[in-house]
Amino acid sequence: MLLFLLLVFLPAVPIETEVVETLTDCPGYFVEETPPEIPDILVGGNILNRTRYKVICQTLEDTRRFLTLYDTKNKIPVFSAYRFIGAQPGRPKEDWKIEPQLEDTNDDINMRLLEDYTTILDNQAVDSDYRNNQSYDRGHLYPSSHAPNESAKLSTFTLTNAVPQSRTFNSGNWSQMERCTKCLMEHYCIRNRTVIEAFVVTGAEQSDEKLNDKMNIPSRMWSAFCCNRTDGVWMSKAYWGHNVPNGNVTESSHEEMTTNFGIQIFPPLCSVRQKSQDKTTLCKKKCKFLTPSVPPADKDETSEKTTFPPNTTPTTTTPPTTTKMTQPTTSITSRSVIKKKQEDCEETEDRNKKEIEEEENNMEGEESIMKRVFII
């Protein structure tokens, strides 16, 4: 009889929820499934206040995309975590979505547009909360530029993945950092010499300030990645900056993040330090604005070689300083492969600049019309 009752009533209970109870219910986004340690919030994998902090297994088109630990009081994420597997170029024009299950756990598993929603949202920010203040963007934690395909890009446009971020910080050194880490991960995080894979966690530190009396304006933001390199050695890098106009981004290590922020982002295996870990020659250009500057390239080619996928093994570590319009003149040498890659990178940078302008153009209201006039 009991079994019968269970069978009858179980289907009424939602089997799938994407606002899940614990981080382990949303696997695949942390190095060795080990989540960060964030004092007073997340300790030993346990969320200390489960009323306030919600684990969102970010889902779009019935596919899980990434993970966010969301602070329903501050109405901003604590962090978003994702697996970087290489990225497609382009940025979709997209309306921002919300997370239905933060309001009603029986609602649909997929993030969706606000207009499809009829009740008032108590537990999260909505798009209109970000309007009327030109100083702050809806700053992505998991950026669209790090997503592998169109649907994955669309999934990053959810407000539970955004914080009020100083506009010039977002479009300046923070976006520079995103280009830099994308380049580093694509060149160095090649698992088993075949697949790009890195684990990234990006977070925001709460302050005492609010935007529109609703969302907390984070004082600092941080981002770190860890991966098992081609040669089987783990590598990690961390970056952080103050969320202020024209804010700078400082390169750090995940160990320094413990000293500086009191958080531990990755498990100890990401701490393995090797001399060659600092070789970021290929991405030097993309990382050039970051402080402290990337160590100068040394010419230790032999150990450098081991960090590249076979078909891009460089014959030189000196990046050409020619303009991006120069065509590779050498025949099919690895030098031209590298050169080609760098041209791709430069195109990406130009495209990103265009995207930033487009995003500014897309702002709602009269200011955007004025802005468009200025840009054109």
Ligand X SMILES: *[C@@H]1O[C@H](CO)[C@@H](O)[C@H](O)[C@H]1NC(C)=O
Q: Which residues bind ligand X (CB under 6 A)?
A: 49, 51-52, 63, 65, 73, 133, 135, 148-149, 151-152, 172-173, 176, 191-192, 194, 209, 211, 228, 232, 244, 246-248, 269, 289, 291
> Which of these, 247, 145, 236, lies nearest to 198 by C-alpha position?
236
* Shortest Å, Cβ 67 to ligand X: 12
Q: Which residues contact 151 (CB under 8 A, 6 or more apart)?
A: 60, 61, 63, 65
CA atoms of 50 and 29, how far apart (whole Å): 20
**Cβ closer to ligand X: 209 or 340?**
209
> Which of these, 246, 251, 248, 249, lies nearest to 225 by C-alpha position?
251
* Shortest Å, Cβ 136 to ligand X: 6
Question: What backbone phi and psi angles, to 5 degrees, belong to 17?
Answer: -130, 150
**Cβ closer to ligand X: 192 or 259?**
192
**Cβ closer to ligand X: 251 or 339?**
251
> Which of these, 285, 71, 274, 37, lies nearest to 163 by C-alpha position?
71
Question: What backbone phi and psi angles, to 5 degrees, belong to 316?
Answer: -145, 150
**Cβ closer to ligand X: 104 or 209?**
209
The SS3 call for residue 37 is strand
**Cβ closer to ligand X: 216 or 342?**
216
* Shortest Å, Cβ 228 to ligand X: 4
* Shortest Å, Cβ 146 to ligand X: 10
Q: What is the DSSP letter of 38?
A: B
* Shortest Å, Cβ 77 to ligand X: 15
- Residue number with the smallest Cβ distance to ligand X: 172
